[in-house]
Structure 1
Amino acid sequence: WCHSGAIIDRLDCQKVGDDQKHHELSQNFRRTITMNKSHAVIVSIARTPIGKFRGSLSHLTAPQLGSIAIRGILSRLGGDGSGGVPKIVEAYMGNVLQAGIGQAPCRQAVLGAGLEQDVVCTTINKVCASGMKSITLAAQTIELGHHKRTHPSTAILAGGMESMSQTPHYLPTSRTGTPLGHSTLIDGIIHDGLWDPYDNIHMGNCAETCAGDYGISREDQDRYAAESYRRAREGMEMGVWEEEIVSVDGPKKKKQSNLDDGQAVVRDDEEPHSVNLDKLPSLRPAFQKDGTVTAGNASSINDGAAALLLMEEREALDMGLTPLARIRGYADAEGPPAQFTTAPSKAVPMAVERAGMALNDVEYHEINEAFSVVAIVNCMLLNLDMARVNVFGGAVAMGHPIGMSGARIVGSLYGVLKRSGASIGCASICNGGGGASAIVLERLN
Structure 2
Amino acid sequence: MSATYVYDAVRTPFGRAGGALSGIRPDDLAAVVMRAAAERTGLDPARIDDVIFGDANQAGEDNRNVARFGALLAGFPSSVSGVTVNRLCGSAVEAVIQGSRAIEAGDAEIILAGGVESMSRAPFVVEKSPKPWPATGNPTMWNTSIGWRMVNPALREDWTISNGASAEKLAEIYDISREAQDEFALRSHRQAAEAWEAGVYDREIVQVEGAELARDEGIRPDTTLEKLGGLRALFAKDGSVTAGNASSINDGASAVLLGAEGALDIEPLARITGRGVFGNDPDVFGIAPVEAANRALARAGRTWAEVDFVELNEAFASQSLACLKLWPELDPANLNIHGGAIAIGHPLGASGGRIIGHAAHELARRGGGVAVAAICIGVGQGLAVVLER
Q: TM-score with structure 1 length normalisation?
A: 0.81
Residue 88 and residue 234 in structure 1: after superposition, are their counterparts in 2 closer, same or farther (change >3 A)?
same
Counterpart Cα distance in 1 of 2:150 and 2:191: 26
Task: Identify the match of residue 114 of structure 2 among 159, 181, 185.
Answer: 159
Task: Identify the match of residue 370 of structure 1 among 308, 315, 332.
Answer: 315
Counterpart Cα distance in 2 of 1:133 and 1:185: 30
Matching residue's letter, 1:225: A
Residue 273 and residue 106 in structure 1: after superposition, are their counterparts in 2 closer, same or farther (change >3 A)?
same
Question: Deviation string for 1:246-298 (max 9, x for gaps)?
Answer: 01123xxxxxxxxxxxxx53342111038733310010001111111000000
Q: Provide the secondary structure at the position in 2 that maps to 1:365.
A: strand
Q: What pairs up with 1:338-417 in 2 under 5 angstroms?
A: 338-383=283-328, 384-417=330-363
**1:123 alignment counterpart:** 84
Task: Identify the match of residue 276 of structure 1 among 204, 207, 223.
Answer: 223
Residue 350 and residue 184 in structure 1: after superposition, are their counterparts in 2 closer, same or farther (change >3 A)?
same
What's the offset of the Cα at 1:185?
2.3
Counterpart Cα distance in 1 of 2:318 and 2:183: 11
Matching residue's letter, 1:311: G
Counterpart Cα distance in 1 of 2:150 and 2:373: 22
**2:364 alignment counterpart:** 418
**1:47 alignment counterpart:** 11
**1:30 alignment counterpart:** none
What's the offset of the Cα at 1:173?
4.3
Q: Provide the secondary structure at the position in 1 that maps to 2:67.
A: helix
Q: What pairs up with 1:73-222 in 2 under 5 angstroms?
A: 73-77=37-41, 87-101=47-61, 102-147=63-108, 154-173=109-128, 176=131, 179=135, 183-191=139-147, 199-222=159-182
Residue 218 and residue 124 in structure 1: after superposition, are their counterparts in 2 closer, same or farther (change >3 A)?
same
Moved more, 111-120 or 178-187: 178-187
What's the offset of the Cα at 1:75?
2.0
What's the offset of the Cα at 1:179?
4.8
Residue 100 and residue 86 in structure 1: after superposition, are their counterparts in 2 closer, same or farther (change >3 A)?
closer
Counterpart Cα distance in 1 of 2:123 and 2:59: 7
What's the offset of the Cα at 1:369?
0.2
Counterpart Cα distance in 2 of 1:185 and 1:275: 38
Task: Identify the match of residue 61 of structure 1 among 25, 44, 57.
Answer: 25
How many aligned positions are there? Answer: 381
Q: Provide the secondary structure at the position in 2 that maps to 1:93.
A: strand
What's the offset of the Cα at 1:174?
6.8
Residue 275 and residue 206 in structure 1: after superposition, are their counterparts in 2 closer, same or farther (change >3 A)?
farther
Q: Provide the secondary structure at the position in 2 that maps to 1:309.
A: strand
- The answer (yes or no) to whether the contact 1:97–1:193 under 8 Å persists in 2 is no
What's the offset of the Cα at 1:63?
1.5
What's the offset of the Cα at 1:421?
3.9
Residue 134 and residue 367 in structure 1: after superposition, are their counterparts in 2 closer, same or farther (change >3 A)?
same
What's the offset of the Cα at 1:183?
4.6
Matching residue's letter, 1:378: C
Question: Deviation string for 1:300-328 (max 9, x for gaps)?
Answer: 00000000111111333xxx221111111
Q: What pairs up with 1:237-248 in 2 under 5 angstroms?
A: 237-248=197-208
Q: Provide the secondary structure at the position in 1 that maps to 2:326.
A: helix
**1:438 alignment counterpart:** 384
Matching residue's letter, 1:415: H
Matching residue's letter, 1:371: F
Which consecutive residues of structure 2, in runs of 5 or more, have no partner in the other structure? Answer: none
- The answer (yes or no) to whether the contact 1:248–1:267 under 8 Å persists in 2 is no
- The answer (yes or no) to whether the contact 1:160–1:405 under 8 Å persists in 2 is yes
- The answer (yes or no) to whether the contact 2:117–2:251 under 8 Å persists in 1 is yes
- The answer (yes or no) to whether the contact 1:330–1:350 under 8 Å persists in 2 is yes
Moved more, 362-371 or 411-420: 411-420
**1:323 alignment counterpart:** 268
- The answer (yes or no) to whether the contact 2:269–2:361 under 8 Å persists in 1 is no
Task: Identify the match of residue 313 of structure 1 among 261, 265, 272.
Answer: 261
Counterpart Cα distance in 2 of 1:417 and 1:193: 40
Residue 408 and residue 99 in structure 1: after superposition, are their counterparts in 2 closer, same or farther (change >3 A)?
same
What's the offset of the Cα at 1:429?
0.2
Q: TM-score with structure 2 length normalisation?
A: 0.92
Moved more, 298-307 or 55-64: 55-64
Which consecutive residues of structure 1, in runs of 5 or more, have no partner in the other structure? Answer: 1-36, 148-153, 251-263
What's the offset of the Cα at 1:170?
1.6
- The answer (yes or no) to whether the contact 2:115–2:352 under 8 Å persists in 1 is yes
- The answer (yes or no) to whether the contact 1:195–1:203 under 8 Å persists in 2 is no
- The answer (yes or no) to whether the contact 1:160–1:403 under 8 Å persists in 2 is yes
Percent of residue pairs bearing the same amino acid type: 39
